[in-house]
């Protein structure tokens, strides 16, 4: 049912944790199941230098979070904003259809974290940020509260 890659990333998730003084933090929830993912970014000269995540969610959510951090490390902000949940799923050699909604968390979390980064930079309006990041109005990140470790 699950590919070897999904099982690998679930049992041995990469880049789990927090980044102290992160340049951008994004938190999103999956409305289908209520699971939560938080993503931390360290950005230098427009490049994602470091990325970590915490996911309180199912195995598919943890695997997609993990593989997406590997795909995003070293990428530019522009490249990161183009990441789609389909690419994340393909990188895992697929997910069962019933678990596809879980893959959306990673794409949304990185967009939310980049929006937070732009807000901290302070040189763009909220309208511009919403447009560039493709997020819904009013979506913000949570800097407080508890999200359990992925493992």
- Pick out residues in 42-61 that bind ligand FES (CB under 6 A): 57-58, 60-61
Report H helices in 2-151.
4-11, 59-72, 77-81, 85-91, 104-121, 126-133
Q: Taking the complex as a whole, how short is the minimal distance between the CB of residue 58 and ligand FES, in angstroms?
A: 4
133 is catalytic: no
Q: 25 vs 150, which CB is nearer to ligand FES?
A: 150
| Contact pick of 39, 67, 95, 102 for ligand FES (by CB under 6 A) | 102
Are 26 and 141 spatial neighbours (Cβ–Cβ below 8 Å)? yes
The DSSP letter of residue 136 is -
Mapped onto helix, strand or coil, the DSSP state of residue 50 is strand
141 is catalytic: no
- Residue ranges binding ligand FES (CB under 6 A): 30, 33, 35, 57-58, 60-61, 99, 102, 105
Catalytic positions are 33, 102
């Amino acid at each position: 049912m699950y590919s070897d890659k999904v099982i690998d990333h679930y049992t041995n998730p990469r880049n789990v944790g927090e980044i102290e003084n992160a340049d951008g933090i994004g938190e999103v929830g999956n409305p289908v199941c209520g699971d939560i993912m938080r993503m931390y970014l360290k950005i230098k000269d427009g490049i994602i230098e470091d990325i970590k995540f915490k996911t309180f969610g199912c195995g598919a959510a943890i695997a997609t979070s993990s593989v997406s951090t590997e795909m995003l490390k070293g990428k530019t902000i522009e490249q990161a904003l183009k990441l789609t949940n389909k690419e994340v799923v393909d990188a895992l050699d697929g997910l069962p259809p019933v678990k596809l909604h879980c893959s959306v968390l990673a794409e949304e979390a990185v967009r939310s974290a980049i929006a937070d980064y732009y807000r901290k930079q302070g040189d763009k309006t909220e309208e511009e940020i919403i447009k560039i990041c493709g997020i819904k109005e009013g979506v913000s990140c949570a800097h407080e509260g508890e999200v359990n470790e992925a493992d």
